Amino acid sequence: MFIKMQDTKPAFKLFRRIPCVVRRVRDATQPANNPACLPKGFDILRCSPLLCNEPKFFCMRHFPCFLFILLPFFVSAGPDDSLRATDILHRMEVMNSKHQLVRYSGIRTIISHGMDDSLHSASSTVWIETRRQDPYFGARFHLRGNDGKEDLDYYYDGQRAYEYRHKSRGLLVVDPSGFANNENNPAKARTALRALDMVFTDTALFRKYMSRGPAITVVEEDANYRLTFVYPDTKELKWKKWMVVSIADLQVKELGSVTDFNGSVQSNIFRVSSVRVNSPGDLDSIYLREPAGVYTKTENLRPATAKPGDRVDLSGKMTADFSFPSLQGNMEKLSAYRGKYVLIDFWESWCGYCIQAIPKKDSLYRELRGKGLVILGVTTENRNQVRNLAERNSISYPTLLADESVTTVYKVTARPTYVLVGPDGRIIKNGEGNLDEMITELRKRL
């Protein structure tokens, strides 16, 4: 309630009447004066003076109305947390826009609840040089650390990403162009990058955290702000994120999230330290320095021949036959399953969406395999890269170790890609990430 200065006289009249109101409340609660009030208790539906049987007294039924009138004078609402979060995020964006060089250290811990060997920890030191025009990372960077298995260096020079693994002496080269520019792009989704975060150079923090309409809380604790964002549930996903930033300089201390994807719960906590901004000496650490010749094996991730974003409809076409070994050592041939429905799942271990969908696919396979469903997981990675992951997730359907020729034939430009094949060998439906559509189609037919 807002009162203009020239309209204050009615308010003062109301305040002058408060003692009278209190006295009438006291008198009205005496049974001798108004026996109808207390025995009947409060009746909010009859709180209007027009409905009161005793108009000359202040009946207790009136009290909620008077309380409603008086509360705005005595109670002031606390600060709106969404406004506080908006202010903090915008101030961080302004600060980040001035960051040209950033160096920080961090430890990221990922816990997949309910799975064996679920704890994954990656530590790193990161050097970042901002390049706002870069479409993939908005920067060049060098990440040096350990992903829980071995030491590694990961460089991105603006054109290619280079992942050097010290123990296995392996070099992986990724050209991000040609792949869809999303989180499944292998240049972004590699395990090494779990220790990377662009929070110190990101100038779109507000959009990143607020675009899905979260419920927000902001609390102050130990000289820090803790901002918590709880996003609306979807059919498959429950999601909460938080950040801890210093009140004094708005430097990030911790980032975290908890996701529940169809009952598969994962916690992700990233703690940051040793932040240094715009120190010219850090520029030297960004340049690629690893001698490629000392590595015993080199792998290149090349895009398929189809252009990124192409959605080639293969419906109605006959499948091209293929035969590849499975993780179990058996040769699996597509044509051997003629007469059954086959769901071909193109996936890779670096694809987060692929991993999250495993429980749903496995449940579908167990439910419908007796009715004629076959699921074939197809990956172009080697046995060692996928074996542990398949064992941890107890994948019950065959996983095939293929080569890139099959991704070219089936126009695979992103992961996951699904191809549903009918009993006659013709493709019913294909697409990227559309597992729910495939499940709906299968339930209609089986």
What would the pLDDT profile of 258-305 be if each residue is shown by its tens digit?
988 767 788 889 999 999 999 988 988 988 876 666 777 777 776 554
**Better-predicted residue by pLDDT, 112 or 333:** 333
Lowest mean pLDDT among 156-165, 262-271, 308-317, 332-341: 308-317
Residue 405 C-alpha from the chain's centroid: 32
Q: What is the pLDDT of residue 156?
A: 94
Domains and CATH numbers, the chain: 5-74 (no CATH), 82-301 (2.50.20.10), 323-445 (3.40.30.10)
pLDDT category of residue 119 using cuts at 50, 70 and 90: low
Spatial CB neighbours of 295, under 8 Å, sequence gap ≥ 6? 164, 169, 170, 171
Q: What is the pLDDT of residue 372?
A: 94
What percent of the chain lies above the pLDDT cut of 90?
Answer: 44
Q: Are 416 and 438 in contact (CB under 8 A)?
A: no
pLDDT value for 167: 86
- Put simply, whether the predicted model's pTM sits higher than 0.75 gets the answer no
| 3-class state of residue 45 by DSSP | helix
pLDDT reading at 117 higher than 60:
no
Strand, coil or helix: 383: helix
What's the token pair of residue 277?
């901004």
Check residues 58 and 110 and name the one with the higher pLDDT: 110
Q: What is the pLDDT of residue 404?
A: 77
Model confidence at 17, pLDDT cuts 50, 70, 90, reads very low
Rounded to whole angstroms, how far apart are CA atoms 307 and 22?
Answer: 78
pLDDT of residue 86: 94
- What residues have CB less than 8 Å from 6, skipping those under 6 apart? none
Residue with tokens 């252009």: 307
Residue 113 pLDDT = 67
Lowest pLDDT segment from 21-35, 234-248, 315-329: 21-35
Give dist(CA 253, CA 274) in Å, integer: 10
Question: What residues contact residue 163 under an 8 Å CB cut-off, 6+ apart?
Answer: 152, 153, 154, 170, 171, 172, 173, 174, 190, 192
pLDDT value at position 3? 37
153-203 pLDDT, tens digit per residue, is 999 999 899 988 888 888 888 888 877 787 778 888 877 787 888 999 999
Q: Which of 286, 285, 291 is nearest to 169 (CA)?
A: 291
Cis omega (within 30 of 0) for bond into 416? yes
pLDDT digits (tens, 9 = 90+) for 135-152: 999 999 999 998 877 899
The pLDDT confidence band at residue 353, using thresholds 50, 70 and 90, is confident
Q: How confident is the model at residue 30 (pLDDT cuts 50, 70, 90)?
A: very low
- Average pLDDT on 399-425 reads 88
Query: Average pLDDT for residues 83-87, to the nearest whole number?
Result: 94
**Residue 422: pLDDT over 70:** yes
Mean pLDDT on 227-244? 91
Q: In which band, very low, low, confident or very high, does the pLDDT at 78 lie, cut at 50, 70 and 90?
A: very low
Question: Taking all residues of the chain, what is their mean pLDDT, rounded to a whole number?
Answer: 79
Residue 66, pLDDT above cutoff 60 = no
What's the confidence (pLDDT) of residue 403? 84
Mean pLDDT of 63-85: 54
pLDDT for 236 beyond 80: no
pLDDT value, residue 300 = 78
DSSP 70-109: HHHHH--PPPPHHHHHHHHHHHHHHHHTT-SEEEEEEEEE
